[in-house]
């Protein structure tokens, strides 16, 4: 089943220059950008804690957009979108589905990164007809635990790197540092119409959502067992924010999952290994 609206999904721009567009759904004015061309099932990206559309890596987004339309957006209350950031993953999923519906898309693939991966789990479980395949990147399952506060505190209190993502996303090894610096260059490549940064209200509501989701026990794994779509799980060898163990646990619980883990990498594994990640996602989406 393909999109009903191919005009909306075709763009000649990369992520660095794609114009920000807006669409209204359920009282929220959602900001979004499309990269790539309408071709089969579009891929919708679900973003991490405090991240806007400008936090995605062009090396991932533009390469994935070679064969499909990739849609990035600010969920309710984030970046250039209107509305309030909800303090729970379930409402973020409701908002994401409203946005997808407003675009007229009948079937999508989801790539959820970190907090976005939690939202992707809920959307996939609740909307089996809407979601064809799911990529869960550097994320955790219900009850999978998190070290968000500890890791954030350490990243904010260090003075070595002005951008905390150097510490949050990459290992303190030469490969990690090199990858982090290359990543930051890529995400700052966009010069015009960057999204507004979020304030403490965004961070507080999203932090609560992550902490509640990843510490709420789901002993019967009700959520993961409700996901019937094929899932690709990807993470780093040493994710200090959302534990690598949680990705392994998800793989063991999900009915139809493939697991990929990269060496010497942290919460930003998919950006550090953007070439491998794009290759792995391509293989997963095309088979």
What is the contact surface with a copy of itself in residues (CB under 8 A)? 230, 237, 244, 248, 251-252, 254-264, 275-276, 279, 283, 287
* Interstrand relation of 43-46 and 108-113 (parallel, antiparallel or unpaired): parallel
Query: 180-216 burial, b for 16+ CB within 10 Å, e for fewer?
Result: beebbebbeebeeeebeebeeebeebbbebbeebbee
- Of 216 and 237, which has the nearer Cβ to a copy of itself? 237
- Of 87 and 264, which has the nearer Cβ to a copy of itself? 264
Q: Smallest gap, in angstroms, from Cβ of residue 74 to a copy of itself?
A: 33
Q: Smallest gap, in angstroms, from Cβ of residue 115 to a copy of itself?
A: 24
- Of 218 and 264, which has the nearer Cβ to a copy of itself? 264
Q: Smallest gap, in angstroms, from Cβ of residue 255 to a copy of itself?
A: 8
- Of 225 and 252, which has the nearer Cβ to a copy of itself? 252
Q: Smallest gap, in angstroms, from Cβ of residue 232 to a copy of itself?
A: 10
**Rounded Cα gap, residues 73 and 96, in angstroms:** 9
Q: Smallest gap, in angstroms, from Cβ of residue 176 to a copy of itself?
A: 13
**Rounded Cα gap, residues 120 and 126, in angstroms:** 10
- Of 208 and 276, which has the nearer Cβ to a copy of itself? 276
Q: Smallest gap, in angstroms, from Cβ of residue 131 to a copy of itself?
A: 17
- Mind giving me the DSSP string for 202-256? HHHHHHHHHHHHHHS--TT-HHHHT--S-EEEEEETT-TTTTHHHHHHHHHHSSS
Closest to 14 (Cα-Cα) out of 52, 70, 73: 70
Contact 60, 71 (CB under 8 A): no
Q: Smallest gap, in angstroms, from Cβ of residue 215 to a copy of itself?
A: 23
- Of 211 and 253, which has the nearer Cβ to a copy of itself? 253
Burial class (CB in 10 A: 0-12, 13-18, 19+), 83: middle
- Of 52 and 247, which has the nearer Cβ to a copy of itself? 247
């Amino acid at each position: 089943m393909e999109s009903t609206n191919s005009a909306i999904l075709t763009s000649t721009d990369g992520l660095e220059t794609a114009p920000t567009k807006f669409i209204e759904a359920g009282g929220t004015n959602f900001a979004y950008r499309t990269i790539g061309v309408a071709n089969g099932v579009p891929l919708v990206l679900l973003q991490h804690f405090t991240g806007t559309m400008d936090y995605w890596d062009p090396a991932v987004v533009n390469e994935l957009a070679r064969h499909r339309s990739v849609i990035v957006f600010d969920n309710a209350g984030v970046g250039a979108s209107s509305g309030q950031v909800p303090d729970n993953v379930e409402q973020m999923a409701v908002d994401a589905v409203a946005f997808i519906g407003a675009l007229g898309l009948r079937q999508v693939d989801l790539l959820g990164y970190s907090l976005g991966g939690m939202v992707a789990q809920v959307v996939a479980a609740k909307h089996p007809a809407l979601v064809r395949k799911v990529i869960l990147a550097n994320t955790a399952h219900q009850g999978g635990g998190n070290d968000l506060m500890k890791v954030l505190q350490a990243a904010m209190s260090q003075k070595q790197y002005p951008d905390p993502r150097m510490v949050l996303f990459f290992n303190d090894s030469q490969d990690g540092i090199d990858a982090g610096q290359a990543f930051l260059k890529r995400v700052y490549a966009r010069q015009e119409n960057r999204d507004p940064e979020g304030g403490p209200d965004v961070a507080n509501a999203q932090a609560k959502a992550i902490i509640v989701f990843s510490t709420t026990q789901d002993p019967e794994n009700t959520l993961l067992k409700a996901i019937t779509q094929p899932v690709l799980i990807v993470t780093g060898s040493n994710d200090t924010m959302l534990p690598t163990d949680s990705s392994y646990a998800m793989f063991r619980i999900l009915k139809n999952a493939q697991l990929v883990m990269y060496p010497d990498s942290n919460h930003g594994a998919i950006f550090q290994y953007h070439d491998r990640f794009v290759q792995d996602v391509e293989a997963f989406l095309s088979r």
